Amino acid sequence: MPWCVECEDVGASVRCEECGDELCGLCFQWQHRSGKRAKHSPTPLPGMQMFRERVEGTTAHFMQLHKGSGGAADEKEAPLVGDEEMADNKEGAGRGKSEEDSGSVESKAMRSAIADRLIESSKYIPLRVSGEERTLLKLLEGALEVSEYTDKVDVVRGWSFRNTKADVIREEIADLLQLLLGLIVAGNPTKGSEIVKNKQISQNEEFFQRVLEIGRRFKITNPEKMRCTYGKLIYLMQDAPSAIDLDVAADIHTVYNFLEARDALEVLADEDIGTAIMAVSSSEGGVQRSRAELEADSSNKQKAIRSISERYANDKISKEEIEYCLFSMGDFHAYLETNRRPVDEMIALLTANFDPNKAENPYSLEICSGSKLSHTHSTQYTFVLQSLQLWRHVTQEMFRLWILAEKDLLNPDNQYRLMNTGQQGMNRVQSAPKIAHAMHAILSKVQSKCGSWVGLSVVHLGDRDVPNALVFIDKYTQIARLLGPIVHTVRSLPRLAKDPATSKIVNEEFGGPDVIRRTILADFFKHGFDGSGSDGGSCIDGRLTSAWNWCSKLEKKSYYPIFLLAGFQGFDGDFRK
């Protein structure tokens, strides 16, 4: 079977007669997304017809979409609605009645479109973990903390007839589930005894599904938590169906499912929904907001929540349940506010401090004979800007990507193989068709806005660079953790320059805040995006690898003391929380 000439990771299944290239379906789409190539059509290679009607994201799935849409795969999932769309909705809802009475078709159409997108987005917004569920969450975290599942299962060693890998998997899964039941009984003897009384482990399948779903839902909404235990949880769930014939995977509980079950989806189309779920931020555009403004926003938000909950409460859904859904959607917007802001501010710093058409020494972004890349100042500026815009869109879609990643990971028909991936060590290598499809859709959206794309558009998944969907999610949830300290340090420079304790260091030893700011940014935009690092380059994942490689060398930079003065403690955060 020939390999795809573009990604070289997947077998070729289509041939472009005009180009003469043999490609996988996804690579064909992205190579032929615009220009004269957009008129080319794919022809299935002999013997590949049998793979039609298969998993979403595969070549066969792409071929079906290509035929149905006239050349481009349809992305059914609408992008998650962010604060910008909510601001538009809030603005439209707050207009004077004169405009409303005049029948503003444009305003109504805009609100209708936002409502449709919000309903679609709610399918990927997990419910907040309730107080009762947090008790079970703590028990799950405790059981996972003491488990040595991956240490004993994902290793290369000789397995004897009496001690096979399947036996170890069964033993470790049974130990963890029994430990979980024991903790339930110890924490609440009355309720725990009802769960375990006269029952085998297999008879508690629904209970295990509930507890593990709570842990997964908590992790999605709090990526900085469970950093040492979430991988154990997912890998255990991968092995459970075949090892002990127990399905412990349940669908993530989302806002959409909760409201749909209670026939209350009209809540998401309310005109006050934008105010009810907005994130109240302490700053806007890098400018600190006043206490009065924050209190006004908080008051308006609480009023909107009460208004909506009272308006739609009925026999099927209570006011408390409506508020629960609104709080869950508010958590999503708070997540966006926290994780997307560093990317937005980094884009603002790039555009404000550098001219794409004119290099200014010594702050030129030109790369000559770099580690992997050689770019002019203008090309490097575009390369960095496009990378940041891509990261922004990925952060915007993270909840949806995470749910799709779990579907790929826990699909019983999508088997993994344990392999040595080089510097990343032993990993479960597994394809991720749903994530691949979603990621290429995001990439296509960014490319359509950016025009000419700089660098490769290859998304590594299921190979030695990104072994599985779990590694993919782990990489991209760290974008804010990577950019946040840099943005914070740059924003702290004016304060450090005025502080009597640090002004002498900043102004005399380093030349002042303006010089330091441009020095830090020029170095990061140049060497943080030069393709360096193991398996770096200009591909989609290589950009993030290069940025992390720059972070690993920060201690050797001449301006590292400035980071320390700004309160820098590291990029990795706390693994034990």
Query: What SS3 string covers 206-272?
Result: HHHHHHHHHHHHHHHHCCCCCCCCHHHHHHHHHHHHHHHCCCCCCCCCEHHHHHHHCCCHHHHHCCC
If one compares 117 and 414, the residue with the highest pLDDT of the two is: 414
516 by Cβ neighbours in 10 Å (0-12 / 13-18 / 19+) ranks as: buried
Confidence band of 115 (pLDDT split at 50, 70, 90): confident
Q: Which amino acid is located at 301 in the chain?
A: K
Confidence band of 75 (pLDDT split at 50, 70, 90): very low
Which tokens hold the place of 149? 């599942």
pLDDT value at residue 18: 82
| CA 577 vs CA 145, 219, 222, 327, 335: distances in Å | 11, 12, 11, 23, 18
Model confidence over 528-545: pLDDT tens digits?
999 887 666 788 888 999
Mean pLDDT within 166-175: 91
- Comparing 241-245, 355-359, 370-374, 560-564, which segment has the lowest mean pLDDT? 370-374
> CB neighbours (10 Å) of residue 95?
11
Mean pLDDT within 23-35: 73
Question: Does 173 have pLDDT greater than 50?
Answer: yes
Confidence band of 372 (pLDDT split at 50, 70, 90): confident
pLDDT value at residue 104: 56
Residues in the chain, total: 577
What percentage of the chain has pLDDT greater than the value 70?
Answer: 84
Model confidence over 242-253: pLDDT tens digits?
888 889 999 999
d(CA 466, CA 459): 9
- Comparing 39-53, 332-346, 410-424, which segment has the lowest mean pLDDT? 39-53
Mean pLDDT within 384-389: 96
Model confidence over 175-210: pLDDT tens digits?
999 999 999 999 888 888 888 886 788 888 999 999
If one compares 70 and 480, the residue with the highest pLDDT of the two is: 480
- Comparing 85-94, 122-131, 195-204, 292-301, which segment has the lowest mean pLDDT? 85-94
Confidence band of 567 (pLDDT split at 50, 70, 90): very high
Supply φ then ψ for residue 285, to 5 degrees.
65, 30
Mean pLDDT within 276-289: 80
If one compares 136 and 425, the residue with the highest pLDDT of the two is: 136
pLDDT value at residue 162: 66
pLDDT value at residue 1: 58
pLDDT value at residue 365: 94
pLDDT value at residue 58: 42
Nearest one of 236, 189, 190 to 211, comparing CA atoms: 236
Q: What is the residue-wise DSSP string for 77-108?
A: SPPPP-HHHHHHHHHHHTS-HHHHHTT-HHHH
- Comparing 80-84, 85-89, 257-261, 518-522, which segment has the lowest mean pLDDT? 85-89
Model confidence over 359-368: pLDDT tens digits?
998 999 998 8
Residues 6 or more apart whose CB falls under 8 angstroms from that of 174 comprise 201, 244
Q: Which amino acid is located at 20 in the chain?
A: G
The pTM of the full predicted model, rounded to 2 decimals, is: 0.81
Q: Are 280 and 300 in contact (CB under 8 A)?
A: no
pLDDT value at residue 68: 44
Model confidence over 454-466: pLDDT tens digits?
988 889 899 888 9
Question: Does 325 have pLDDT greater than 70?
Answer: yes
As a whole number, the mean pLDDT across the chain is 85
Residues 6 or more apart whose CB falls under 8 angstroms from that of 398 comprise 223, 335, 339, 476, 477
Instruction: For CA atoms 20, 21, 22, 26, give the dihedral sign.
Output: negative
If one compares 373 and 481, the residue with the highest pLDDT of the two is: 481
Query: What SS3 string covers 503-550?
Result: HHHHHHHCCCHHHHHHHHHHHHHHHCCCCCCCCCCCCHHHHHHHHHHH
b (16+ CB within 10 A) / e for 185-223: beeeeeebeeebeeeebeebeebbbebbbbbbbbbbbeb
The neighbouring-strand residues paired with 42 are 16
pLDDT value at residue 193: 84
Residues 6 or more apart whose CB falls under 8 angstroms from that of 264 comprise 312, 314, 316, 317, 322
Supply φ then ψ for residue 257, to 5 degrees.
-60, -40
Model confidence over 328-367: pLDDT tens digits?
999 999 999 999 999 999 999 999 999 999 999 899 999 8
Which tokens hold the place of 309? 């909950």
Confidence band of 106 (pLDDT split at 50, 70, 90): low
Mean pLDDT within 103-121: 72
Mean pLDDT within 250-264: 96
Question: Does 38 have pLDDT greater than 50?
Answer: yes
| CA 127 vs CA 221, 247, 277: distances in Å | 9, 22, 13
If one compares 325 and 62, the residue with the highest pLDDT of the two is: 325
Question: Does 489 have pLDDT greater than 70?
Answer: yes
d(CA 442, CA 72): 13
If one compares 576 and 436, the residue with the highest pLDDT of the two is: 436
